[in-house]
C-alpha cells in the first residue's frame, strides 16, 4: 500500500475532545475500505493520519477476515495503533467473513477481482447489520464498483440503495455536500433520455423531505431553504420548452411548502447554483445526475462528500470512485475521505427534529 507523504498532515494535540453521546458513551463510527484493489485503503490511512479521528471516537474498520492481517500491518507501518479495548477511543479492526478466496487474499493494486469485490461486499454487509442493530452511530463507506452487488436479486444500483433497503428507510436521497454547495439528484444513474419518464412529483417530495431532515438533524440547519431545479432550459419557459415543470415539479414544490418547508422552484438551472453558492439556498434539488454533479464538482472537486439522507444511521462516503488507474501509486488525494470522516464525526450525534 503506497501513501504519499506529501499529502499527509498530522494533527498533534496533547488532549483530544472526545465525541460523546447523551448517555456519556463515545460516539462509534464504522468504516469500510471499499474495494481493496482501489484507492480506498490508502485514502483512509491518509485521512486518519490527517484527522486523528480515532483519538476522539471509537472507530471500527469492518474488513474481510483474510484482509485483516494485511490492514493491521499497514496500520502499524503508518503509526496507527489499534485500540486496547472496546469502549475507549481508538481504531479497532472488526474482522468479518469469509469474504473470498483466502489463498489470494490481498489484491494487487489496480486489479479488481471477484475476490476483492466479495471482500468489499462482506465488509459493507457487516457494517450495515451493525447499523441495523444500532451498534454504530455513523457509517463511512469506501469506494466500490457496482459489481459487488452482482450476486443480489434484485440487484441494487449502488451502496446508497443497498443501505437504504437494508436499514428500511421509507425515503432516501443522495446528497453531495461541500463547504459552499449541496446538491441532491432526484434521479441518479439513469440514461438522460429516461429522466422525463422517471421524474414524479412524489419522488421530488421524498428527496426534499429526506434532504431537509438531513440538514436539520445532521447539519444543525433548523429551517433549511430548498431550491428545486427545473428540468428544461429556462424551466420550461411557460410550457414552450416542455411541460414537466407545470405537470410534475410545481405540484411537488407546493406539497413541500404545505409540509412547512421553505422551498423555491422550479428555478432555472443556469442561475440557481450561483445563488446557492452565495448563500441563498441550503440545498439544490436537481432533476438528473449531471445537473447536480457538474456544478458540485466545479466548486468542490476535492472537498465534497456524499451523504445518504433519510437513513436512521447516517452514511457518508467520499465523492469519488475506486480510481484503479492510480491505486498503489501514492498519488491519490485523500481530501474527500478527510471530509467524509470529519462529517461523520460532526453528525454522529444527531439533533431531534419534528417528524413530517
> Residue 12, class by beta-carbon neighbours within 10 Å (0-12 exposed, 13-18 middle, 19+ buried)?
exposed
Grid cell in block for residue 293: 454533479
d(CA 16, CA 13): 7
Q: Can you give the residue ranges of every domain in the chain?
A: 1-169+311-356, 172-301
Omega cis (within 30) before 247: no
| Crossing angle of the two packed helices 114-132 and 159-166, in degrees rounded to 10 | 40
d(CA 147, CA 308): 20
Q: Are 326 and 188 spatial neighbours (Cβ–Cβ below 8 Å)?
A: no
**pLDDT, position 243:** 94
Q: Are 194 and 288 spatial neighbours (Cβ–Cβ below 8 Å)?
A: no
Q: What is the pLDDT along the chain (356 residues), one digit of tens a residue?
A: 554 433 333 333 445 788 888 888 889 999 999 999 999 999 999 999 999 999 999 999 999 999 999 999 999 999 898 887 777 888 999 999 865 555 568 899 999 999 999 999 999 999 999 999 999 999 999 999 989 999 999 988 889 999 999 999 989 999 999 999 999 999 988 899 999 999 999 999 999 999 999 999 899 899 999 999 999 999 988 889 999 999 999 999 999 999 999 999 999 999 999 999 999 999 999 999 999 999 999 999 888 999 999 999 999 999 899 999 999 998 999 999 999 999 999 999 876 666 66
Q: Are strands 315-318 and 305-309 parallel, antiparallel or unpaired?
A: antiparallel
Query: CA-based angle 140:2:128, to the nearest 5?
Result: 20
**pLDDT, position 142:** 96
d(CA 141, CA 160): 10
* Contacts (Cβ under 8 Å, ≥6 apart) of 193: none
d(CA 306, CA 339): 10
What is the side-by-side order of every strand in the sheet holding 305-309?
A: 90-96, 58-64, 28-32, 138-140, 315-318, 305-309, 173-177, 182-185, 283-286, 225-229, 262-267
Q: Are 337 and 304 spatial neighbours (Cβ–Cβ below 8 Å)?
A: no
The topology under which CATH files domain 172-301 is: Isopropylmalate Dehydrogenase (3.40.718)
The topology under which CATH files domain 1-169+311-356 is: Isopropylmalate Dehydrogenase (3.40.718)
* Contacts (Cβ under 8 Å, ≥6 apart) of 203: 186, 187
* Contacts (Cβ under 8 Å, ≥6 apart) of 234: 241, 268
* Residue in the structure block whose three cell numbers are 436499514: 167
**pLDDT, position 302:** 85
DSSP-derived secondary structure letter, 150: T
DSSP assignment of 251-298 equals HHHHHHHHTT-EEEEEEPTTTHHHHHHTTS-SEEEESSHHHHHHHHHH
d(CA 243, CA 214): 30
**pLDDT, position 12:** 39
Nearest to 70 by CA among 20, 120, 107: 107
Amino acid at each position: 500500500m503506497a501513501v504519499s507523504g506529501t499529502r499527509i498532515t498530522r494533527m498533534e494535540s496533547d488532549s483530544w475532545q472526545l465525541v460523546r453521546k447523551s448517555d456519556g458513551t463515545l460516539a462509534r463510527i464504522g468504516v469500510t475500505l471499499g474495494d481493496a484493489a482501489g484507492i480506498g485503503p490508502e485514502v483512509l490511512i491518509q485521512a486518519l493520519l490527517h484527522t486523528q479521528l480515532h483519538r476522539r471516537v471509537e472507530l471500527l474498520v469492518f474488513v474481510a477476515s483474510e484482509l485483516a492481517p494485511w490492514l493491521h500491518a499497514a496500520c502499524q507501518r503508518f503509526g496507527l495503533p489499534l485500540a486496547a479495548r472496546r469502549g475507549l477511543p481508538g481504531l479497532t479492526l472488526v474482522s468479518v467473513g469469509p469474504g473470498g478466496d483466502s489463498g489470494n487474499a490481498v489484491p494487487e493494486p489496480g486489479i479488481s477481482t471477484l475476490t476483492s469485490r466479495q471482500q468489499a461486499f462482506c465488509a459493507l454487509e457487516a457494517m450495515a447489520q451493525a447499523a441495523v442493530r444500532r451498534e454504530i452511530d455513523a457509517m463511512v463507506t469506501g469506494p466500490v464498483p457496482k459489481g459487488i452487488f452482482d450476486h443480489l436479486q434484485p440487484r441494487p444500483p449502488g451502496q446508497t440503495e443497498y443501505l437504504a433497503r437494508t436499514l428500511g428507510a421509507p425515503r432516501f436521497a443522495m446528497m453531495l455536500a461541500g463547504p459552499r454547495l449541496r446538491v441532491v439528484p432526484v434521479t441518479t444513474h439513469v440514461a438522460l433520455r429516461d429522466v422525463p419518464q422517471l421524474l414524479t412529483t412524489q419522488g421530488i417530495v421524498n428527496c426534499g423531505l429526506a434532504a431537509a431532515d438531513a440538514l436539520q438533524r445532521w447539519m444543525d440547519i433548523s429551517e433549511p431553504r430548498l431550491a428545486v431545479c427545473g428540468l428544461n432550459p429556462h424551466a420550461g419557459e411557460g410550457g414552450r420548452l416542455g411541460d414537466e415543470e407545470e405537470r410534475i415539479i410545481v405540484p411537488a414544490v407546493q406539497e413541500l411548502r404545505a409540509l412547512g418547508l421553505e422551498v423555491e422552484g422550479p428555478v432555472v438551472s443556469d442561475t440557481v447554483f450561483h445563488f446557492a453558492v452565495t448563500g441563498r439556498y441550503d440545498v439544490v434539488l436537481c432533476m438528473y445526475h449531471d445537473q447536480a454533479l457538474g456544478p458540485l464538482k466545479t466548486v468542490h472537486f476535492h472537498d465534497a462528500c456524499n451523504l445518504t439522507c433519510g437513513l436512521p444511521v447516517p452514511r457518508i462516503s467520499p465523492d469519488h470512485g475506486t480510481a484503479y488507474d492510480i491505486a498503489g501509486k501514492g498519488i491519490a488525494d485523500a481530501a474527500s475521505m478527510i471530509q467524509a470522516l470529519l462529517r461523520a464525526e460532526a453528525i454522529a450525534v444527531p439533533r431531534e427534529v419534528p417528524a413530517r
